[in-house]
Amino acid sequence: MDLSAAESSQEIAAELAVALVRDGTPLIDVREPGEWVVGHAPDAHLIPLGELDARTSELPRDTEILVICHSGARSDRAARALREAEFIAVSISGGMLAWAAAGGEVETGGAT
């Protein structure tokens, strides 16, 4: 799915994000490991915001990437930084709070 309209707004609604991730769009969680274990999307890949610059080699450059955090502030900063580095990245509005409210799967514990 093309996120070009979402890119101009820099955010995407959680309901749409849930559907996109189910269809295989990569999801990056930029929270800290302690937040991750409390609850995260099963298909997310944890890259804490402070490590993002050093770990961009783990991310695809040829596809859209969704970015999530707890409430949306960190994911907005992360998505902006990724776009500046020429990635196609969009923040999920409302973060994990909105993800869960939209019916997105949440699991606890686990390794990254």
- What does the buried/exposed string (b/e) look like for 70-105 if buried means 16 or more CB atoms within 10 Å of the residue's CB? bebebbbbbbebbbeeebbbbbbbbbbebbbebebe
Active site residues: 69
In the chain, at which residue ranges do the beta strands (DSSP E only) sit?
Answer: 11-12, 27-29, 44-46, 64-68, 88-92
